[in-house]
Structure 1
């Protein structure tokens, strides 16, 4: 990405999602653009903060303090990592097509893709930990993954990210969520002792 090796791929995908006669218009019916704007909001700071806050309150009320600390550290750590990576790479937003939503920050990695992977996959792992049935655990992870994929795809469709921004956000966010899940597994016996004691 830094050397420009992904430029052709990024530009082809962005252009493929626009009307060739008018690059201001995305492909598809008008309702699709509205749906993408709604979907992208699920990966924004207000939505993710609300969801995280509600989960943290639930964990505190149910006296699962270890899980609450883990969730808070995971999501705050992911947010800090996103900011550091954006500042480090300092990639500007795409200017090939119009942005269909307002954006303020740098482009790489996609904050929406990364934050949605961190939040939804971390919360999915937390919920799946208490579910014994394999099919239900699979469903939980599928929903978390599906939301993450939709949010990232919406960023490219709306012209505010290159596809490689989103791919990097998904990859780094999923790796972060996996690392936090592994820490949770390692701490699990200690959590159980604390909660039982």
Structure 2
């Protein structure tokens, strides 16, 4: 039996899409509010640059690398197929593979925004908008939050995993601003677009799940 679609989640998804479009238009037309957002991001996240903070963010940013996210997604799909949970495999492939890699690459190509002209604390090439690490973190770890909520019954373990995954979703995009390879508008755009895609893929692929997320 198909469950009722969550209106508040659809509303949240559309709000995230609206935020992404506002940021996209601002970057494309180089509007003033984008400059204000980006400067605020550097003041709040980048400063001060210390050896301890650099060590932390250099390590946390690795959890959003495409190779790492593809590795985690591959193993998730492998176990899903072994357990004959094909909806899980499709969910992960769509979010991490199609959205996290395909959609992100297309957007980077068409927007082609240069990276910040400040000292980069890690080597990074390519264009800046949207942040691939921000999209990867939301799509991979957000997908895992959905799966944990559906399939782990033990409440303390469930919420411990969800808290850890949420921390990764927050800190990985922050690391990109601190390391100087992305503007705050890049990571906000990546997070908002990924949240929109994640919610809609969840609602479509798991529409027959009796338990709401």
For the aligned pair, the TM-score class normalised by the smaller chain equals 0.7 to 0.9
8 Å CA contact retained: 1:94, 1:161: yes
Listed one character per residue, the Cα deviations across residues 7-54 of structure 1 (whole Å, up to 9, x for unaligned) are 133134325655xxxxxxx62531210110110010001211111111
Cα-Cα RMSD? 2.1
Q: Contact between 2:91 and 2:202, CA under 8 Å: does it hold in 1?
A: no
1:8 and 2:36 correspond: yes
Say how many residue pairs are matched.
181
Q: Residue deviations 1:118-145, cap 9 Å, x none?
A: 1110121012111346665554433322
> Unaligned stretches of 5+ in structure 1?
19-25, 190-197
Question: 1:117 deviation in Å?
Answer: 0.4
Residue equivalent to 1:87: 109
**CA gap 1:131/1:160 in 2 versus in 1, 3 angstroms:** same
CA contact (8 A) 1:128 1:140 kept: no
Q: Report deviation, 1:106.
A: 0.7
CA separation in 1, counterparts of 2:182 and 2:155?
Answer: 36
Greater RCO (CA < 8 Å, at least 6 residues apart): 2
Supply the distance in 1 between the matched residues of 2:43 and 2:54 (Cα, whole angstroms): 15
- Give the TM-score, by structure 2 length: 0.77
Structure 2 counterparts to residues 1-197 of structure 1, below 5 A = 1=26, 2-4=28-30, 5=32, 6-14=34-42, 27-78=48-99, 79-95=101-117, 97-132=118-153, 137-188=158-209
The one-character-per-residue Cα deviations of 1:133-183 (angstroms, maximum 9, x if unpaired) are: 666555443332221110000000000000000111111111111111111
Contact 1:122 1:180 (C-alpha < 8 Å) held by counterparts: no
- Closer, same or farther: CA 17–131 of 1 in aligned 2, 3 Å: closer
TM-score by length of 1: 0.82
Larger Rg: 1
User: Structure 2: which 5+ runs fail to align?
Assistant: 1-25
For structure 1, which segment, 140-149 or 77-86, has the greater mean C-alpha deviation from structure 2 after superposition?
140-149
